[in-house]
Amino acid sequence: MFILRTEHAGLLQLHDIALFQFKNYPNTRFRFHSRIIGICGNNGMGKTNLLDAIYYLCCTKSYFGSTDALNTLHGAAGFRIAGQFSGAEWMSPDEPLEVVCVLRENGKKELHANARVLERVADHVGKIPCVVIAPDDAEIITGGSTDRRRFIDGLLCQLDAAYLAELMCYNRVLQQRNSYLKSCAPGRTDESLLAVYDSQLVQHGEILFRQRSQTMEALAPLIHQRYTQIAGREENISIRYESPLQQGRFGDLLHLSRQKDLALQRTTTGIHRDDLVLELDDQPFKQLASQGQRKSLLFALKLAELKLLQQSKQVSPLLLLDDVFEKLDETRMHNLLHYVCTENNGQVFITDTQATRLEKAFSDCGTPIQIVEIK
C-alpha cells in the first residue's frame, strides 16, 4: 500500500522511477523520499541519463534531442520508463499516478497514465511540468536564434497543449512553401499557389506570434528579477522579444517580401525568424558578459520559466539541475541554491560527482537532501 507523505501534500513529486533498457540502465529502480534529491556518481555513471528519464515521463521525449532509438540500451530493442507521481491538481490525492513511457520494439512510443494508454502522446506534455538546466543550455545565451526559439517553444508547449499543434502546422506549410520557392523556375511562378501557402502561414503564424508575445511579456520581468537575485546586484540587462510580425501584418510582410523570397528561394519573413534579444549595457549580452554572467542569465531564464509554469499550473514544476556547480562564484551559487531551497517549493533533482559538495551546499541552506549514489 502506498502512503503519500502528508508533509509534502500539494507538492508535485516523483516517488519512484523504474528504468528498463533505457540508455545505460538495463533494469534499475530508484526511490525518492525527499523534496531535494542529489544524484551522485562518477563521470559516465548515468546521472544525466536518470534526469533524462524523468524528463521523458514529463515531456515524452529526450531533453537532449536524441532519438528514442538512441536512448535504448545498446543492443536491446525498446525501453520502458515507469514513474509514480503525486501532487498535481489533476492527480488523485489518495494514490499515486503511474506514468509509463514505453518504446515498443517496432519503434512505436506509448504513454500510459494508470494503465490507460493516451491516444496522443503529445496530450501529456504540460501535465507534469518540468524545467531542466543542463550544461548545453548555455547555447540559449551564446548560440543562434534557433536555440532561443527552442527555449520559447519548449515553454509554450508545456503552457498550452494546442501550441505544439499550431507550430507543427506552421512548420509544415513553411517547408512546403520553401520547397516550392526552390523548385519554381524564374518567371513561371504560380501566384495562386503561393497565395494559398501565405494564407496558411498567416493563419498559424499570427496565433503563434500572439502566444509568444504574451508569454514573453510575462517572462521578461521575471527573468530580470531572477538575474538580479542571482547576481546579488542590479546589472543593466535587457530582455526583449523580437519578431518580424512586430513590423506589420504578416500577410502584408509576406506580400512585400515575395520577390526577395523568389530570388533567395526561401521564406525570409515570419515567426521562424523570431528571437529573444538579450543585452548587457545595451550591447549583445553574449559578446560582453563574462562566463559567470552568462550562466547567471541562463539560470534566470530557466527560473523565470519555472515561475511562469508554476503560476499557470498551480503547482511547482520538477526542477532538474544537471552539473550546475561549474563556473559560478560562491555568492552566485549561494544565491541560486537559496532560491532553489526557499523560494521555489517544488521537487528538485540535482546531479554532482561529489556527494559531499551537495550535502554541504544544502546543509548551508538548512534544507534536507536525499543522496542517491549511482555506481
Ligand X SMILES: Nc1ncnc2c1ncn2[C@@H]1O[C@H](COP(=O)(O)OP(=O)(O)OP(=O)(O)O)[C@@H](O)[C@H]1O
Binding site for ligand X (CB under 6 A): 23-24, 41, 43-49, 70-74, 323, 353
Binding segment for Mg ion (CB under 5 A), chosen from 43-51, 105-113, 141-149, 363-371, is: 43-51
Rounded CA separation 356/289 (Å): 31
Q: Minimum CB separation from ligand X for residue 274, in Å? A: 31
Q: Which is nearer to ligand X, 74 or 188 (CB)?
A: 74
Closest CA to 63 of 23, 36, 114: 23
Q: Minimum CB separation from ligand X for residue 137, in Å? A: 14
Rounded CA separation 161/158 (Å): 7
* CA dist list (Å): 109 to 118, 257, 355: 11, 41, 35
Q: Minimum CB separation from Mg ion for residue 72, in Å? A: 19
Q: Minimum CB separation from ligand X for residue 339, in Å? A: 23
Q: Which is nearer to ligand X, 39 or 280 (CB)?
A: 39
Residues 6+ apart with CB under 8 A from 199: 251
Q: What region does 265 belong to: left with phi over 0, alpha with psi -120 to 50, or beta?
A: left
Given a contact cutoff of 8 angstroms between Cβ atoms, the answer to whether 122 and 169 are in contact is no
Asked if 49 interacts with Mg ion (CB under 5 A), we say no
Binding mask 311-350 for Mg ion (x = CB under 5 A): ----------------------------------------
267 binds, among ligand X, Mg ion, none (CB under 5 to 8 A by kind): none
3-class SS of residue 20 = strand
Q: Which is nearer to ligand X, 52 or 305 (CB)?
A: 52
Asked if 48 interacts with Mg ion (CB under 5 A), we say yes
Q: Minimum CB separation from ligand X for residue 321, in Å? A: 12
Strand order in the sheet with 130-133: 130-133, 318-321, 348-352, 36-40, 370-373
Asked if 310 interacts with Mg ion (CB under 5 A), we say no
Tell me which DSSP letter residue 82 carries: E
User: Which residue is at the shortest CB distance from Mg ion?
Assistant: 48
